[in-house]
Amino acid sequence: MNEPRALPFVLTGPTGTGKTAIALELAERLGAAVLCADSRQVYRGLDVATGKPTPAERARVPHHGFDVLEPTERASAGGYARAMRPVLETLARAETPALLVGGTGLYLRALHAGLAEVPEIPADVRNGVRAKLEGGGPEALHAELALLDPELARRLQPRDGQRIARGLEVVLATGRPLSAWQAEDGEDPAPWFWVGLTRPRSELTEALAARARGFFAAGLLDEVRGLRERGTPADAPAFDALGYREANDVLDGRLAQDDAVAELVRHTVQYAKRQMTWLRGEARRVELSFREIGVHESPGQVARELAARYEQALTTRGIPRTTGLSGRVSR
């Protein structure tokens, strides 16, 4: 992919680091369009527990890639990259900065560098794995995956049934772990501008706990109940998202709400750790700098600093400043 005149800006980081609020300030300052890089914000109807920008927030700047799949559809890194590449190209032609926001590292890698194409999985393999998933549950499948593709198993939660099944299908059908397929870059990628947001561990853990409680207080159970009443099955791919598995456990009587909140906190903290591990690995592949958010810093303060760093990167790389760049004072 040739480097566009409008250098793509990647704002990533673990869940709970405040990417959405900072991205809005940053997009307004840069005259940028926000592109979704979150594997759960692509789903329609999943709003309460995904950290998705609200309709009012999306009205402030252009947004792309949100609410594009039904909960019953399967999201994938390859599908995401195929859908978003034309958006990037359109923005580049208009010399509009693209601000990719989200913590799904594999999506960002797929769009930036491409991924090796995994061969089609035979129906008998797929059906066999799905039967195992339904009969023995995701934890048993995760244990099997850990023997055949330990790297992928380490990245997945034991209850993430859809992704565990996918990993097992690939290694059984091809004789090669999915993690190995994913590690193959398909293109020589152009340099982008990468920033990973972080927060001190204790502060992030506390914030994630408050966030989990807030999801249930904000009506997560009602949202999931409504989706199911409108025909979304409890095993829909979208319901593998954090918060939605736990909400289904409450609705189906497997967990009390307080226990579901505790489970969600534990799962979210584990997920944030895995995201940081991934990003540290990506920092060896791309020019990714980390920015720790101070406890008293506002989104506007952080956005102002990042905008200045981005403009400096444009100058350093000889890319003309676009007409979208703004000098307004952030809140």
Instruction: Assess whether 200 and 239 both reside in one domain.
Output: yes
**Where residue 97 sits, what CATH number does that domain have?**
3.40.50.300
User: Three-state DSSP class for 28?
Assistant: helix
Instruction: Assess whether 20 and 81 both reside in one domain.
Output: yes
Q: Which of 196, 265, 276 is nearest to 22 (CA)?
A: 196
Boundary residue ending a domain (132, 158, 182): 182
State how many domains the chain has: 2
Instruction: Assess whether 127 and 192 both reside in one domain.
Output: no
Residue 326 lies in a domain: no
Tokens read off for 40: 């759960």
Task: List the pLDDT tens digit at each of the 331 positions of the chain.
Answer: 444 456 999 999 999 999 999 999 999 999 999 999 999 999 999 999 999 999 999 999 999 999 999 999 999 998 999 999 999 999 999 989 999 999 999 999 999 988 767 778 888 988 898 888 888 888 899 999 999 999 888 878 787 787 888 889 899 988 999 888 877 655 556 789 999 999 999 999 999 999 999 999 999 999 999 999 999 999 999 999 999 999 999 999 999 999 999 999 999 999 999 999 999 988 888 999 999 998 889 999 999 999 999 999 998 888 876 544 544 433 3
Question: Alpha-carbon torsion 111, 293, 50, 325, what sign?
Answer: negative
pTM: 0.82
Give the structural domain span for 50.
9-115+185-316
Instruction: Assess whether 285 and 198 both reside in one domain.
Output: yes
Residue 87 lies in a domain: yes
Boundary residue ending a domain (134, 153, 182): 182
Alpha-carbon distance of 74 to 132, in angstroms, equals 19
Instruction: Assess whether 253 and 292 both reside in one domain.
Output: yes
User: Three-state DSSP class for 101?
Assistant: strand
Instruction: Give the CB-side neighbour count of residue 204, counting CA atoms within 13 A.
Output: 23
Instruction: Assess whether 194 and 178 both reside in one domain.
Output: no
